[in-house]
């Protein structure tokens, strides 16, 4: 009951000095709104980026070549230092081979779902007279295309027969179809298309159309966006005159396999079996799950750092609360003296002014939360992300508002509680 009475007294005091109260809580409002907006925008970006990366394949493991670190050298005096890193040219013996891929599939048949191969032929333009659409020609095997989780709108995907016969067939995006075939996906499937690439024209037959999903990482204007045009892997290697092995492959782990641990196992297996005697190169394996975790951690750290900087205004707001409470106590000295003369204990006086400080901070906090959520919604919509309010930020803001009220309100409240009632009643 005493707490409720103190809250009502605090609200009455704020109504009596509206402008002063507004200016006092302004620092709290700005600080809370900034923290909420930054944390909510950070949440939205993190969720979008994580979702996009996971859609690429959370169970994927990238296995690639990297140059070995120079060995430690020891001088005659016994001093140790690392040798100088020099770029070594890759030879045919350094690349991953088809025999290695077959071997790893046999060795880890219970853990590997498939080997995903791709060859970037280059960026060009699919043309039909004066009409054109930017494309990135990608040679892929059947396993790679299946793991892309494409939504097929018309036709079919590439088959094993396409791969073996190195057919000049392609799967294109609906964006290409909109540009060249006026959006008619059924007409596009089975039609010929001409691609201008690296100064030459290549003819392909479209066998399938997939739905293009704009990536969260893409901020290019619509006219500059380039979509993937998928070609059989061996046909792409032949077109690109690529006769060496592979500098990088992607393995898809089976459901239930810990991709992070499996990546380490693969790295050790390759290096022990095939690259132990290679002087220049070794294998490095990284799981998509590790990349997602690393990206999420980095974005969280950046968001927290910016929020902490924005939170400095909360400190300024807290000092403002302390200042206004000291002014309020000075103005109400006779009131405090009267209450003490009537027998009010020090704890009651202290609680009254602490509650007043908490009410001020909570009002600022609630207004700041609403303003922060509105700002976050506007910013995320402008950036093209889905709004994702930060629940942690809201809880933190309310708790911090109470803390500021107690922390910065205690000194003025304690000063009021320790007043001598006789001196307070004599105060003019």
Examine residue 194 and state whether it is found in any structural domain, yes or no: yes
DSSP code per residue over 35-87? HHHHHHHHHHHHHHHHHHHHHTTTTEEEEEEEEPPPPEEE-TT--EEEPPP-P
Q: Say yes or no: 227 and 336 in one domain.
A: no
Could you give the maximum distance between any two Cα atoms of the chain, in Å?
Answer: 104
Give me the pLDDT at residue 15, please: 72
Give me the pLDDT at residue 405, please: 77
Dump pLDDT digits (tens) for 189-234.
889 999 988 888 999 999 999 998 765 445 556 667 889 999 999 8
User: Residue 247 in contact with residue 96, Cβ under 8 Å?
Assistant: yes
Q: Say yes or no: 302 and 412 in one domain.
A: yes
Secondary structure (3-state) at 363: helix
Q: How confident is the model at residue 162 (pLDDT cuts 50, 70, 90)?
A: very high
pLDDT of residue 6 exceeding 70, the answer is no
Residue 391 burial class via C-beta count within 10 angstroms: exposed 0-12, middle 13-18, buried 19 and up: exposed
Strand partners, 67: 281
Q: What is the dihedral of CA 204, 208, 209, 212, to 10 degrees?
A: -90
Q: Say yes or no: 40 and 133 in one domain.
A: no
Can you tell me the mean pLDDT for 268-287? 88
How far out from the chain centre does Cα 128 lie?
39
Higher pLDDT, residue 413 or 268: 268
pTM reported for the whole predicted model: 0.58
Q: Write down the residue that tokens 């609680």 correspond to.
A: 351
Give the count of domains, the chain.
2
User: Residue 250 in contact with residue 256, Cβ under 8 Å?
Assistant: no
Give me the pLDDT at residue 216, please: 45
Q: Of 216, 239, 262, which residue is a domain's last?
A: 239
Q: Of 174, 206, 239, which residue is a domain's last?
A: 239
Nearest to residue 82, comparing CAs of 68, 71, 92, 93? 71
Q: Say yes or no: 308 and 413 in one domain.
A: yes
Can you tell me the mean pLDDT for 137-149? 86
Examine residue 418 and state whether it is found in any structural domain, yes or no: yes
Examine residue 151 and state whether it is found in any structural domain, yes or no: yes
Alpha-carbon distance 81 to 116, whole Å?
Answer: 40
Q: Write down the residue that tokens 């088959």 correspond to.
A: 159
Give me the pLDDT at residue 217, please: 46
Q: Of 196, 213, 239, which residue is a domain's last?
A: 239
Share of the chain above pLDDT 90, in %: 13
Give me the pLDDT at residue 397, please: 76
What b-and-e string marks burial along 319-340, b requiring 16 or more CB atoms within 10 Å of the CB?
A: ebbbebbeebbeebbeebbebb
Neighbours of 49 (CB within 10 A): 19
C-alpha torsion sign, points 206, 211, 217, 221: positive
Q: Say yes or no: 41 and 123 in one domain.
A: no
pLDDT of residue 171 exceeding 80, the answer is yes
Examine residue 200 and state whether it is found in any structural domain, yes or no: yes
Q: Which residue segment(s) compose the domain that 149 sits in? A: 118-239
Examine residue 59 and state whether it is found in any structural domain, yes or no: no
Q: Say yes or no: 133 and 227 in one domain.
A: yes
Q: How confident is the model at residue 421 (pLDDT cuts 50, 70, 90)?
A: low
Examine residue 360 and state whether it is found in any structural domain, yes or no: yes
Residue 128 dihedral angles phi and psi, to the nearest 5°: -150, 90
pLDDT of residue 1 exceeding 50, the answer is no
Q: Say yes or no: 317 and 214 in one domain.
A: no
Q: Say yes or no: 306 and 417 in one domain.
A: yes
Examine residue 61 and state whether it is found in any structural domain, yes or no: no
Could you tell me which residues come within 8 angstroms of residue 265 by beta carbon, excluding any fewer than 6 positions away? 108
Tell me the two tokens of residue 296.
């999420």
pLDDT of residue 350 exceeding 50, the answer is yes
Q: Say yes or no: 130 and 223 in one domain.
A: yes
Alpha-carbon distance 271 to 353, whole Å?
Answer: 70
Considering the chain, what is the average pLDDT of its residues? 79
Give me the pLDDT at residue 424, please: 57
Can you tell me the mean pLDDT for 306-329? 76
Q: Say yes or no: 318 and 409 in one domain.
A: yes
Residue 366 dihedral angles phi and psi, to the nearest 5°: -65, -40
Examine residue 258 and state whether it is found in any structural domain, yes or no: no
């Amino acid at each position: 009951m005493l707490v409720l009475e103190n809250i009502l007294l605090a609200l009455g005091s704020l109504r009596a000095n509206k402008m002063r109260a507004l200016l006092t809580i302004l620092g709290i409002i700005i600080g809370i709104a900034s923290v909420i907006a930054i944390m909510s925008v950070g949440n939205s970006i993190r969720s979008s980026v994580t979702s996009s990366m996971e859609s690429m394949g959370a169970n994927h493991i990238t296995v690639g070549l990297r140059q070995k670190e120079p060995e430690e050298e020891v001088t005659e005096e016994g001093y140790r230092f690392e040798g100088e890193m020099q770029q070594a040219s890759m030879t045919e013996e350094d690349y991953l081979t088809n025999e290695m891929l077959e071997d790893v599939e046999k060795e880890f048949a219970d853990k590997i779902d498939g080997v995903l191969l791709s060859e970037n032929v280059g960026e060009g333009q699919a043309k039909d007279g004066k009409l054109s659409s930017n494309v990135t020609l990608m040679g892929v095997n059947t396993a790679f295309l299946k793991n892309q989780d494409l939504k097929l709108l018309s036709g079919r995907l590439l088959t094993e027969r396409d791969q073996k016969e190195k057919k000049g067939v392609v799967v294109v995006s609906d964006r290409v179809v909109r540009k060249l075939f006026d959006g008619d996906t059924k007409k596009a499937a089975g039609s010929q298309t001409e691609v201008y690439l690296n100064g030459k024209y290549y003819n392909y037959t479209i066998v399938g159309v997939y739905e293009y999903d704009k990536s969260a990482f893409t901020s290019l204007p619509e006219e500059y966006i380039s979509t993937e045009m998928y070609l059989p892997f061996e046909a792409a290697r032949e077109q690109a005159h690529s006769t060496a092995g592979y500098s990088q492959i992607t393995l898809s782990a089976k459901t239930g396999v810990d991709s992070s641990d499996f990546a380490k196992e693969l790295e050790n297996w390759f290096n022990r079996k095939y690259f132990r005697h290679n002087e220049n190169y070794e294998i490095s394996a990284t799981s998509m799950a590790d990349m997602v975790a690393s990206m999420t951690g980095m974005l969280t750290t950046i968001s927290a750092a910016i929020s902490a900087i924005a939170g400095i205004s909360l400190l300024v707001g807290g000092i403002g609360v302390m200042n206004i409470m000291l002014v309020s106590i000075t103005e109400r000295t006779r009131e405090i003296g009267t209450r003490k003369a009537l027998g009010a204990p020090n704890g009651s006086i202290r609680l009254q002014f602490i509650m007043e400080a908490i009410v001020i901070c909570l009002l600022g906090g609630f207004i700041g939360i609403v303003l922060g959520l509105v700002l976050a919604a506007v910013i995320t919509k402008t950036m093209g992300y889905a709004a994702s309010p930060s629940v942690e930020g809201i809880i933190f803001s309310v708790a911090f508002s109470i803390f500021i009220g107690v922390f910065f309100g205690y000194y003025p409240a304690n000063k009021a509680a320790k007043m001598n009632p006789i001196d307070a009643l004599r105060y003019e």
